[in-house]
Amino acid sequence: MEKIYDWVSGNLWLLPGDNDFERGFYTALFLTGLVLLLIIVLCLIIRLCFRKPAIPGVTLEREDGDIFISRNALASAVYHLEHDFPGVEILKVVLDNGRQGDLELAVSMSYDEKQGSFETTAKAFKARIFRELHGTFGIDTVKTVALSLVRLPNSRRSGGDDGSINDAFVAGI
């Protein structure tokens, strides 16, 4: 550390300070800034190396040529199923790599509990997604459909007099 301090204080003569204490203080600030900058750069490099690449869609290999189905077309097909399931509101559809490298469709949704059990609706919804993907597009490469219930139903939300909704934590959910 002494060598680094001596090199920085000797080569950075632009550091302000009238005495050794002030020059040492500013040198320490400069070195701290450099270390923080190095940590930020390393974090960005690590994030770039380990990020999951986006899946643009599904390619179906056929004898007469490939067929490419974009993730937006898949999401649109899933959004159209919302009308067949009352109480289900689809918020987000993501095509992702699964655990074993298979394709996975992740669906974020809200569900109104007045429509019955979420488990039975989720089972029927997953089966319908698989039928829709196979029947409409001929896709068998999507192996799993992950459903996540992310929003409280409207009956459990507490609203103000002005119609605003408070999504704060409600005990017992």
What pLDDT tens digit does each residue of the chain (173 aa) get? Answer: 677 767 766 666 555 666 777 777 877 888 899 999 999 999 999 999 887 777 888 888 888 888 898 889 988 999 998 888 888 888 888 888 877 777 888 899 888 877 778 888 889 999 999 999 888 888 888 888 888 888 655 555 555 555 555 555 554 44
pLDDT at 171: 47
Which H or E element spans position 40? helix 20-49
| Residues 89 and 121 sit within 8 Å (Cβ to Cβ) | no
- The DSSP secondary-structure symbol of 135 reads I
Query: Where in the chain are the domains?
Result: 2-49, 57-153
Cβ-proximal residues to 112 (8 Å cutoff; 6+ apart), any chain = 86, 87, 88, 153, 154, 155
- The model carries a pTM of 0.60
Partner residues linked to 96 by β-bridges? 104
CA dist 128 → 123, 136, 141, 173 (Å): 9, 11, 16, 28
CATH topology of domain 57-153: Alpha-Beta Plaits (3.30.70)
Unique residue bearing structure tokens 């459909």: 145
Torsion of CA 132, 138, 139, 144, to 10 degrees: 40
